[in-house]
Amino acid sequence: MNYTDINILELLPQRPPFVMVDHLTDYSEAQSSCDLTIREDNVFCKDGELAAAGLVEHIAQTCAARLGYYNKYILKTGVRLGFIGEVKDLDIVRLPRQGERIDTTITVIQEIFDVTLVNAEVRVGTEVIATTRLKIAQGEQSSE
Amino acid sequence: MVLQDNLFSIISQVQEGGQPAFQVQINKEWPIYRAHFPGHPITPGVCIVQMIQELLEVHLGRKVSLRKAKNVKYLAIISPEEVSELTVSFPKIEEQEDGSLKVQAQVASGETLFTKLSATFQ
C-alpha cells in the first residue's frame, strides 16, 4: 500500500487550519513517518519559520496519523481523539524554514492500553533538526 | 499565530513570593477550538507551551524562543467550556552563563494543576 495516497484528514481528528502533517509516508506498528512542507499560510509559521509549538504539534500528529491508520485500516473502527500527556527531553537544533519539507519518524517504545510512548526524530533531508520523547493518550472516537 | 488576545488575554500580573504570575482569561470563541477538535474543543497542549512563552516575553520585555524542554507534563486537559480563567506562574526563571534562561512554569486553576513545564529558552 502506498500510504502517501491516503488523504491525511481520514487519519486525524484535527481539522484545518490545525493540521500539521501532509502525508503518512511509512507505517508499521513499531515505527511510522510523516512529512510536512512549511507553507506561509501555516498558522504556526512566523517570520519565515515554523514555531516550536508547530514543530511539536507536527510530531504529535505523526503519532496521531499512526494511531489513525491502525484504528481505521487495521481495527476498522473510527479515528479517536488524542492528547499529549508528556513532552520529554525536547531538543530543537533549529526550526524548519518556510519552503522546507520536514520528515519525522516516531519509534514506539511502549504501548499500554490507550497510552503510547514514542521517540521522535525530525529531519530536513538527512539533517536532524529536533528530537524528543512524547507520551500520547487516546480518548473517545472523533465526532467527524 | 500570536495567542495573546486570541486564545487568552491577561487579566492581571501579580507576584507570588517574588516570582511572576499571570491571571489570564481563556477565549472560548477562539477559532482553533473548532479544529481541535470539531465538537470537542480542547486547548492544544502545544499552545499551552506557547502561552507560557508569550507570558515569559511579557515579563522579560523581550522575545525568547524554546530550545530545550526537560519535560512538559499535562496532568489534565483544559476545556474552554469548563475553565475560563487560568493562573500561569513561574516558580523559577534563572539566567545561565550563556544567556539562556532555565524556566519552570505551572498552569493552574484553583486547586487544579493542568500543566508543569521545565524548559530552556533563548
Residue A15's closest chain B neighbor by CA? B35
Range of the domain at A71: 3-139
pLDDT at A144: 65
Per-residue cell: A22: 501532509
Which 3-state string (H, E, C) describes B17-64? CCEEEEEEEECCCCHHHHCCCCCCCCCCHHHHHHHHHHHHHHHHCCCC
Per-residue cell: A90: 525536547
Domain total of chain A: 1
- Return d(Cα A118, Cα A120) in angstroms, integer: 6
What is the ipTM metric for this complex? 0.95
Amino acid (one-letter) located at A40: E
Read off φ and ψ for residue A97, nearest 5 degrees: -100, 155
- Residue A32 inside a domain? The answer is yes
Mean pLDDT rounded to a whole number for chain A: 96
Convert the pLDDT of each residue in A22-66 to its tens digit: 999 999 999 999 999 999 999 999 999 999 999 999 999 999 999
Are the beta carbons of A83 and A101 closer than 8 angstroms? Answer: no
- Residue A100 inside a domain? The answer is yes
- Return d(Cα B115, Cα B108) in angstroms, integer: 7
Per-residue cell: B6: 486570541
CATH topology of domain B8-121: Thiol Ester Dehydrase; Chain A (3.10.129)
Q: Which residues of A touch B (CB under 8 A)?
A: 13-19, 43-44, 46, 51-54, 56-57, 60, 81, 83-92, 95, 132, 140, 142-144
Q: Inter-chain contact B45–A54, Cβ cutoff 8 Å?
A: no
The minimal CB distance from A83 to the residues B34, B73, B74 is found for B74
